[in-house]
Amino acid sequence: MGWRMWLPLMFFALFLGLAAYQLTQPKDEFVESRMIGQSLPYFDLPAATDGLPGVSSKDFADGKPRLLNIWASWCLPCIAEAPQLEALKEQGADIVGVAIRDDPADVAEFLARHGNPYSRIGRDDLSEVQLGIGSSGVPETFVIDGKGTITYQHIGDIRADDVPVLLEKLREAGQ
């Protein structure tokens, strides 16, 4: 017999220790885009609602930095970030929206109820643009420089504390 009879118990204790360690680690629910520093992929989305044009990747290559906000009318955090998007617009940010799997009537109702900070909104029915730029959920906001390069990603709803950060990232993207 000897020490070998304790070997299964030692492996079991090691397994329990590793499992306990993993359970105590903070959970990261967000997937960061690997597109940071990369050019936007080509896309051309139709308008998500009447009164605003659709969105094309060519819209981001005119020398002006912009925010690209991925959102949906059915998204509760998108309601929470609506005042912050208005604040960004009031401070000079040009915000382009991509509505994910949304109905034009629902988009119009959302904008009427929560405000419209967007200069354009494209309709992404199959989440192709969303997945193409590395977005894993709604809402997410990307800073795009004037050449169409993704320079920054904000995951989740924009809160009041995030507004100065996004304005700074937008300024940096314009330099």
The answer to whether 48 and 97 are in contact (CB under 8 A) is: yes
Residue 88's Cα: distance from chain center in Å? 16
Check pLDDT > 90 for residue 1: no
* Helices 162-173/76-90 angle, 10° precision: 60
Check pLDDT > 70 for residue 22: yes
Per-residue pLDDT of 115-141, as tens digits, reads 999 999 999 999 999 999 999 899 999
Per-residue pLDDT of 66-116, as tens digits, reads 999 999 999 999 999 999 999 999 999 999 999 999 999 999 999 999 999
Spatial distance between the Cα atoms of 81 and 140, rounded to a whole number of angstroms: 10
Which pLDDT score, from 0 to 100, does residue 73 have? 97
Going by pLDDT thresholds of 50, 70 and 90, the confidence category of residue 175 is confident
Burial label for 92, CB within 10 Å (0-12, 13-18, 19+), is exposed
Residue holding tokens 């199959």? 126
The answer to whether 143 and 170 are in contact (CB under 8 A) is: yes
* b/e per residue 12-33 (b: at least 16 CB within 10 A): eeeeeeeeeeeeeeeeeeeeeb
Mean pLDDT over the full length of the chain: 94
Write out the two tokens for 175: 């330099």
Kindly list the structural domains of the chain, giving each domain's residue range(s) and its CATH number in brackets, ordered by start. 30-174 (3.40.30.10)
Residue holding tokens 């309709």? 123
DSSP conformation letters of 108-165 = HHHHHHH---EEEEEEETT-HHHHHTT--SSSEEEEE-TTSBEEEEEES---TTHHHH
Per-residue pLDDT of 55-73, as tens digits, reads 999 999 999 999 999 999 9
From the list 49, 14, 34, 18, the residue with the least C-alpha distance to 120 is: 49
Which pLDDT score, from 0 to 100, does residue 2 have? 81
Say what the pTM is.
0.83
Which pLDDT score, from 0 to 100, does residue 136 have? 87
Write out the two tokens for 111: 């904008």
